[in-house]
Amino acid sequence: MQTELYLMRHGEPQIRNALLGRTNPELSELGWQQMLGNSANLTDIDVMISSPLQRCALFAEYIAAQQQLPVHIKSDFAEFDFGDWDGRSYQDLHNDFPQDMHNFFIDPGNNTPPNGESLADFSQRVETALLSVLQQHQGKRIALFVHSGVIRTLIAWCLKIDYLQGVQFQRLKIDYASISHISVFAHEGEHFPQLCYTNKVADSK
């Protein structure tokens, strides 16, 4: 049985040029326009699931009301928790912790932000949430309103990339309001995912 996953990243948030994990701004006006422009590519959706953070959930609730569907809020699809760095501007972080930031971006699996979430824990919670969704909504067309870190992790799961290498964060471009599509065939308790496309935005051909 085939399950279709449409992974939509939130639009531009009101706080920009900062390391946003659990920090919880709403979308900017531009962010709403980005989401409205690209959400037209979400058609014939059966199930809508969102991160609890406002930059995802508020738009998910809006579009779900338009399509007369409920929104399932899943806390395990929240973005990575950057701990003491969360919400701070990239410039300040690079000024205050140049070596620590370098180490984190080069090798996140072995360099956890102070008081933050380890990459192993983040990856495990996202994968566990995904498997729960696939079991609960098998055979459905599912829209997930989530974050770039979550989308990159789900693509890494699909392509069997080792989470802890961090390659998914360094080499996958996931734009604001973009959609990525993974098709998952299930047979006898096993999943066989295929990546159909990534980073589709409103003006893509």
d(CA 157, CA 3): 15
* Per-residue pLDDT band at 189 (split at 50, 70, 90): confident
More confident residue, 88 or 189: 88
In-domain check, residue 101: yes
Read off the tokens for 199.
């980073």
> Taking the CB of residue 57, how many other CB atoms lie within 10 A of it?
19
- pLDDT tens for residues 49-104? 999 999 999 999 999 999 999 999 999 999 999 999 999 999 999 999 999 999 99
Structure confidence at residue 203 (pLDDT): 66
For residues 47 and 176, what is the distance between their CA atoms, to the nearest angstrom? 21
Residues 6+ apart with CB under 8 A from 37: 177, 202
CATH number of the CATH domain containing 53: 3.40.50.1240
Count of domains forming the chain:
1
Q: Is residue 88 part of a domain?
A: yes
For residue 43, the enclosing domain spans 2-200
Q: What is the 3-state secondary structure (H, E, C) of 27-42?
A: ECHHHHHHHHHHHHHC
Contact 74, 51 (CB under 8 A): yes
| Alpha carbon separation from 183 to 69, 144, 163, 197 (Å, rounded) | 21, 13, 20, 10
In a domain, 142, yes or no: yes
**Residues 141 and 44: beta-carbon distance below 8 Å:** yes
Q: What are phi and psi of 35, to 5 degrees?
A: -70, -40
Q: Is the torsion defined by CA of 78, 197, 135, 70 positive or negative?
A: positive
Please write the tens of the pLDDT for every residue from 14-39: 999 999 999 999 999 999 999 999 99
pTM: 0.96
Say what the pLDDT of residue 24 is: 98
For residue 205, is it within any domain?
Answer: no
- The dihedrals phi and psi of 195, each to the nearest 5 degrees, come to -85, 115
User: So what's the pLDDT on residue 202?
Assistant: 82
Q: Does residue 62 fall inside a structural domain? A: yes
